[in-house]
C-alpha cells in the first residue's frame, strides 16, 4: 500500500481529517440545537419539557376518548339496526300468522 493519496501524503490527509472531525460533545450540541429548533418551528415550547409531556398526554387521552366514543357509537348503531330488523321480522311473522288464522 502506498503512503500517498492523490497529491498528499497519507499522514497529511489524516491530519486534515482529524482537524475536521467533530467530537462527541460537538455532535450532541448540534443535535440538541437541531431538535430544539425543529420543535420550536412546530410550535412546541421546549423550555418546559414536563409541560410538553403533559400536553402530549392530554392529546393522547383525547384521542383515546374519541376512539371509545366512536366504538360505542358503532355498537349503538348496530344495536338499533338489529333491534329494528328483529322488530320488523316479529311484526311480519305476527301478521302472517294472524292472517293464516283468519
Residue 13, Cβ density class (10 Å: 0-12 exposed, 13-18 middle, ≥19 buried): middle
Cell 440545537 -> residue = 33
For residues 100 and 52, membership in a common domain is answered with yes
For residues 61 and 14, membership in a common domain is answered with no
Q: What is the pLDDT of residues 42-97, one digit of tens each?
A: 988 888 889 989 989 999 999 999 999 999 999 999 999 999 999 999 999 999 88
pLDDT value at position 4? 61
Q: What is the pLDDT of residues 7-35, one digit of tens each?
A: 667 777 677 766 677 788 988 999 999 99
Range of the domain at 81: 48-102
pLDDT value at position 22? 77
For residues 41 and 57, membership in a common domain is answered with no
For residues 75 and 30, membership in a common domain is answered with no
Q: What is the pTM of this model?
A: 0.51
Q: d(Cα 8, Cα 52) in Å, to the nearest integer? A: 52
pLDDT value at position 43? 87
pLDDT value at position 45? 83
Amino acid at each position: 500500500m502506498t503512503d500517498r493519496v492523490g497529491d498528499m501524503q497519507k499522514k497529511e490527509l489524516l491530519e486534515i481529517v482529524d482537524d475536521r472531525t467533530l467530537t462527541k460533545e460537538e455532535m450532541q450540541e448540534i443535535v440538541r440545537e437541531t431538535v430544539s429548533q425543529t420543535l420550536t418551528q412546530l410550535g412546541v415550547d421546549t423550555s418546559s419539557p414536563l409541560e410538553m409531556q403533559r400536553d402530549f398526554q392530554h392529546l393522547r387521552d383525547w384521542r383515546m376518548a374519541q376512539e371509545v366514543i366512536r366504538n360505542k357509537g358503532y355498537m349503538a348503531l348496530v344495536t338499533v339496526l338489529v333491534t329494528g330488523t328483529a322488530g320488523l321480522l316479529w311484526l311480519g311473522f305476527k301478521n302472517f300468522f294472524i292472517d293464516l288464522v283468519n
